[in-house]
Structure 1
Amino acid sequence: MRQVTAMRWRTAGLLFAVFVIVTLPYLITRGGSQQSLNAGELVTRSAEIQALVYRIADQTHDSESAVQHLLANDPYSHAEVTAQNAGKTVPALLDELHRLSADNPAQQHLVDQLNAKENGRLALLQQALQRYQQNDRAGADQALSDAGALFQIDDIAEKIVDNAEQQLQLRRESAKQRSVDNRLVLALTAAMQLLMLMIVVVVSERQIGRRLRAEIRERQAVQRSQMILQAVREPIALLDNSLRTLQVNAAFSELYGVSEDSRAEYLDEVGQGAWADEVLQQRLRDVLLRDRELWDFELIQRTIDGVERHVVINARCLQQQDSEKPALLLTVSDVTARALVEQQVKELNHQLESKVAQISDVNRELEAFSYSVSHDLRAPLRHITAFTQKLELHQGIGVDETTRHYLGVIRDAAQRMAQLIEDLLVFSRLGRGALRLQAVDMQSLVEETRTLAESEVPDRCIEWQIEPLPVVVGDENMLRTVWQNLIGNAVKYTGQCKVARIEISVWRNDAGDYEFTVADNGAGFDMRYVDKLFGVFQRLHKASEFPGNGIGLANVQRIVTRHGGKAWAEGEPGHGARFHFTLSGVEAPTPDGWLSS
């Protein structure tokens, strides 16, 4: 009885000793491994930051190079798609770079600077591409030049890379030191485990029992894996190094007519030649011989049911436990529906491009026609005016009142026609000239326009309410024309008010753009005719009530549209009008950062 009790105590003490000897090295090893993993993760993060910076710079330069090729009439394949790639991929890469640098305030500051310059550069790059598509090559070239001059990214990218390199070096040294510590811990652990081997012999029978139970669990796991493989609806096959089938699942068998129990059937004989493609056969052999992977190989197959399918094939090499020869795991994805949709999208895009080209040609022809007609009409008008004056001189002071009236009507009509032609030429030039982008202080433009408008009507009482206005990126002369037309209209159409009230305000909409508003308490207009308001020579009031040619708002809309914004109006007869226009909310750099265009 005492012997049994002693044996039990010895067994309990042995188990306790084994527990201490095994657990202590495990905990030490686990802690060291976790530290090594953390160090390795930091090293990897530094390398990823460097790779992301280079990728952002490469994407930006590739897109700019594509635009340059387009402007040089030397486009390569997919040049226009490449030109748009930066705008699609760089913002996501910048977000990822910002996330990876979250643990380094100095590096994140540099990333924020890179983000700001990339946004400005991409905005001008997109503007250059839009102008190229509008056949405005001079404007596109100017925008591309401004992008490179105003938003330098290489220096900041180099600083980020240098910072990451410094961090990478420090983290590598830390990882190296921790690796040495881990090796020391592992050596001590190995020594203790060798000591345990003498004790483990005593409990070998228990280990054998555990092994038997483990084998049972392994067999059960294999059975479960087989069940899962057969339940997957994606065709899967396992091939030997001669491309003969070792095992296929139910989906593969159903699609290609192969028995699930079949063995040693060559792949090119499966499915009545569905796998006989020589290129695919060679790629699969390369996977086996060079231990590579095959990703997304697209192929059109006629399967056993006689249907042509678009499939995507993936393959990788596996090492078999019971053989030195590798095996090939083959998976097939049916993407027929996606291929049909992509084909339809391509056809629709082609049709859309044709329509856009036709519209662009028509617009260019209309603009050229307008410009030519305006110039050709000037000469006859000068003749009419000149000969009217000569006729007045020829008639002398003895001309009767009726004749003088008729001559005055002819002269006034010719002058009005000349003014209309001049307005038409200005309207035409607004659509052709290149934008000279710079930082524009909207507050200064409004104050300048307000002073000019008040000087023309010194005897009127006008109450102004002007909110603080921002600095925007745009063409200063064109934006001055916008304010002159809108403020001039507000002053003109409040001419019948005893006290005119004009309000100028701004706010940022949900898209982040600035929305400017000019409101007055003047004559207003009927919203039923708002569509005519921004048309060329379209007027909603009689010339006898309010002078003008009806082209000012058309100029406003054209300028705002060229800046990427939109213009619209609201009004009510007798209760004033509100004119709105939007401009991009991209922050303008400091004046020192601008170069003269």
Structure 2
Amino acid sequence: MSESAQPPQPDDVRTASPSRGGHVLALAVLIGSLLIVFVTWRAAYEREVATARARFVARTDEVVYLLRERMSNFELVLQGGSALFATVARPSPQQWHSYAVGLDSQERFPALVGLGFAPYVSHSELPILQTQWRESGYGLLEIEPRGHRPYYAPILLLEPKSPENLAAMGFDMYSEPTRRAAMQAAMESGESRLTGPVHLVQDGVDRETGLLLYEPIYRAGDRPATRAARLESMQGWVYMPFRMQGFVDMALGGLYENERFRVYDVTDGRDQLLYTTQLSDIEASPAFRHTRHVDHFGRRWRVEFDSPPLAQAVPRLSGPSGLQSLLALGLFTSLLMYAIAWVLARTQARAQTLAMRMTEDYRRSEQRFRSALEYSAIGKALLDSEGRIVEANPALGRIIGRDSATLIGMKLEALFEDEEALPIGHGSGAEQGVHRATRRLHHHAGGLPRHAQLTYAPVPGNVGQDVTGLVQVEDVTERLRAEARVHALNRTLEARVALRTRELSQANQELESFAYSVSHDLRAPLRAIDGFSRVLTERYGDRLDDSGRDYLARVRKAASRMGELIDALLKIARVTRGELKIERIDLSRIAAEVVEELRAGDAGHAPEIDITPGLHADADAALVRNLLGNLLGNAWKFTRGTQGPRIEFGATTRDDGTTEFHVRDNGAGFPQDYVEKLFRPFQRLHAQEQFAGHGIGLATVKRIVERHGGTIRAEGAEGQGATFRFTLPGEGAAPGLDPAT
């Protein structure tokens, strides 16, 4: 028989080629994969650019924040200088030098040229100032520039005493328009004011951009409420000159030295360059630009930021691991998928030829089972009706420590140390179901016993084949050991927590004992000081002059004040002592009782009182009475001297359903910028002569609220009153309260 007449052989299927549909499918895979690659690449590109832009904007926010924070530090230094004028009418150069040295300004603020004072004098007062200065032994005070002007502001005090600063003494800053505008604004507003860009007199021919910050000083250290009163009480300015380049370098501290930005003063409607970065590639086109506006003490700055070029701003767009490489990889993958699809199409044609010789369902089922058994990481074995191993996969051999072929014919129970038996070969699969157990097995290599988790499931065998079940064996030794270690660690941590709790309790007790011991030891010398001062006054008062008697009176007053501060310290310490006795209390009734006590103690002050009835809370009654006594007592004190004084105690319901109580008054109020100082011990925002007190009331209130697990906050404005809001656990407001808006 010739070759052409021979019947088809199985090897002939190798000549099968993909059908037209296979080519179309492969082409569709190529097009679809290319679309997915390009869409994914574009989305990743935009995401990377957006992320880089967000990081760039975040860095600009950090730079602006550092500039603003450092300028605020300058204001605090000036306010410290103004506080010196509250104690003396005009500090001497020695006193001013001591204050400046104490600040350590050259180390803390290297951008500062100095810290100085300039008095505000009229033309008629100028000769008097020059005479006083000369008679005090400080030499001749020459005013520059010369000329007749209605008012002068010569530099009188300036530290440190460098040659440049000494040469600037006597310079009339009020004669220069930019400086005069800032000084006039500070005098009229009573607040610190910043100048526009100027050339500092200390720089000489070096015309580096400089700025000056002024703080007004009024007579007796007060802060007049009206513009006319401020002009009448004006004494001068505490000021600090600084260079913009040094200020930016100091504020950023080298953290953002590679940032590109420019700072313009735009207060007067025109752009005045204050600062620009000096980078070698500044001319390169930036990838992003961002502009921020900053308001500093009456001046408005515009800060323009430029990012590096796109390749530097978004480095993931290029490079070995960049998006361009990923795009190339995606294209290669698309081509590979096309090749795979074409090969699969060709395989499909071959499979159609082979499908004539076998049942497709049986082949695939058998292949899945064999693959699952052979390549599974979990040990598996087929068992007969007597519990013997008919077939085992390599994973089971690795777990047991023997070759899987040697396990065939062995009883499964022989592999374990314990005697718990699996329900093998009894009943049908539906009756038996799945059985699980954890058992210890012998390791063939003589190692330590290991733990295995067994899962038995009944499976049918082929016709004439004695196969009744499938058992899966998973080595869980390391997992059980890890769980044991976790339990041991938990017990250790619990013991450590108990130990730390005992140590903390002992430390608190020692601190309380120390506070009481210190207070007791301090009272004896205070009583001695007060007693001997009183004896000196009574027995030898006629031998002392007025100054001596005044000194003794001040000593007794200071001793009394020290005693009051000790009592205040003990009062704060008592708040944290003792166990809370939580009960249902009537806040409205307690507030009314506190108000009655205030009226009895100060009959001359009669503010309008508004207490919302029916306010209750679950709290310690004694501590809450202390809390309301401090809040209502503060409101009572700070409404004294107010037209139409009014105090309100009520509550509102917040959006989350909790009740927030509040004490509101229309008294002296406080600057909102200093709200954090209110709740610190001995921090006061008003002079002792204006409103007496020790500065512990609100600190006590905060500790009481926090002991109950609540929160407290304050809102206020100078001359417009204050509101204190707090929460307590388990509070329940009276029916009909409107939710907080």
The TM-score with structure 1 as length reference comes to 0.47
Q: Larger helix proportion, structure 1 or 2? A: 1
Q: Larger strand proportion, structure 1 or 2? A: 2
